[in-house]
Amino acid sequence: MRSFLLIESRSGLESPDVGAFFNLATSLLDAGHQVTLFLLQNAVLGLTEDVQLAGTMAKGAQTWVDRYSLEARGIDATRLAQGIKVGGPRQLVRMLMTPGVVPVWH
Number of helical (H) and strand (E) elements in the chain, helices listed first: 4, 5
pLDDT tens-digit readout, 49-95: 666 777 788 888 899 999 999 999 999 988 888 889 999 999 999 99
| DSSP label of 40 | -
CA 80 to mean position of chain CA atoms: 13
Q: Please tell me the pTM assigned to this model.
A: 0.92
Looking at 3.40.1260.10, 3.30.70.3270, 3.30.465.10, 3.90.1150.10, the CATH number of the domain 3-105 comes to: 3.40.1260.10
